Structure 1
Amino acid sequence: MNASRRDTWPAYRPTRHVLVLRKRRYERPWQGYVVDWKHHSYQWQALVVYQDETLDGSPLVWKWFPVDELWPLYPDPNPRREPNF
Structure 2
Amino acid sequence: MEEQTKVDKDYLESFNQGYEVAKELGLKSDALEGINAGNNRIQAMKDGIEQYNKEQTLEKDIIPPFDMDSIDKSYIDISDPKKDKDKGMDMDL
Structure with greater strand share of residues: 1
TM-score for the superposition, normalised by structure 2: 0.20
Structure with greater helix share of residues: 2
Q: Give the greater-gyration-radius structure (CA).
A: 2
